[in-house]
Structure 1
């Protein structure tokens, strides 16, 4: 059974840098990148390239928001640590994939959330079965105002519950503010 950690904080809080420093303590690192840049999104493509350039060359990378649990089942024991950055992008991509072109009704929101929870549960189970340490990075987005539209409110609620789902399963939880990590669990 592996050790698991959750690192959370606001945008640009330093959470990824903190998690990367933790991962760098190990020899064999897998970086699971869940952000996907679409063809017409040059700004996000540039962000991804910047992230790729800052990672050590000896780290392996798996870039996807789907099939993560299956990938970990097959490959996780090749690594000492696996860093999943980030849960927020994972949930975003799954949310819009599962929603598709449908109107967001309450029933469909429940269905989408159940699909995301199942995917995250599978990742957690794969992490528990692995010998590698699993580090999750996520955004704490519930600290601001209540969003003005239903889609954003539903998304905020889902990511909040997913973060709770992960936090209850991991041994360590860190909250990062202005580059300073504080251990909460």
Structure 2
């Protein structure tokens, strides 16, 4: 079973940098598990910026949804991030909230059966502006419920506030 550290917070709060430093402190060869699906050029640039932040120590694995198909046993794994991973489920489930949540939870449960040190980055969407349309509200709900599910299983949870990690569990 995985040892889970959840790092959550708002956009540009320092989540990824904090999680990366944590992983580098735990392993000489950490794994970066990227869950992004490249939707447009702006997003491709963001991905390239994240890639440039990591050096040759990192093993990079790109996986949009099926995290459990990779063997991470005995490794330190940084999953960045839950939000992008959930976006893929939401899109592929035709924006059906319940179906996406059920599929994501099932995959998550399979994934964490591995004996690994897992650091997970996610976003706190519910702390910002109320979503203006139905699909955005559904996604914010999906994110919030999945965050609760992961946090309940996590050994440690940090909330990033303006670049400062606040340990909450």
Q: TM-score range by the shorter chain?
A: over 0.9
**Does residue 11 in structure 1 map to residue 18 in structure 2?**
no
Give 2:41's aligned residue: 42
Describe the superposition over 1:74-101 as per-residue Cα deviations: whole angstroms up to 9, x where unpaired.
x21252x1000000000011110121xx
Give 1:77's aligned residue: 73
1:90-129 paired onto structure 2 within 5 Å: 90-99=85-94, 108-125=96-113, 129=114
Give 1:30's aligned residue: 31
TM-superposed deviation, 1:119: 1.9
Q: Is the 8 A contact 2:74 2:117 kept in 1?
A: no
Q: What root-mean-square deviation, in Å, do the aligned CA atoms of Structure 1 and Structure 2 show? A: 1.4
**Does residue 87 in structure 1 map to residue 82 in structure 2?**
yes
Q: Secondary structure at the match of 1:76?
A: coil
Listed as ranges, the gaps of 5+ residues in structure 1 are none
Describe the superposition over 1:118-176 as per-residue Cα deviations: whole angstroms up to 9, x where unpaired.
12222223xxx31x210000001101233221111111001000000000101000000
TM-score computed with the length of structure 1 as normaliser? 0.85
Q: Larger radius of gyration, structure 1 or 2? A: 1
Q: Is the 8 A contact 1:28 1:78 kept in 2?
A: no
Q: Is the 8 A contact 2:2 2:112 kept in 1?
A: no
Listed as ranges, the gaps of 5+ residues in structure 2 are none
Q: Secondary structure at the match of 2:93?
A: helix
Q: Secondary structure at the match of 2:50?
A: helix
Q: Secondary structure at the match of 2:33?
A: strand
Q: What is the count of residue pairs matched by the alignment?
A: 168
Runs (4 or more) in structure 1 with deviation over 4 Å come to none
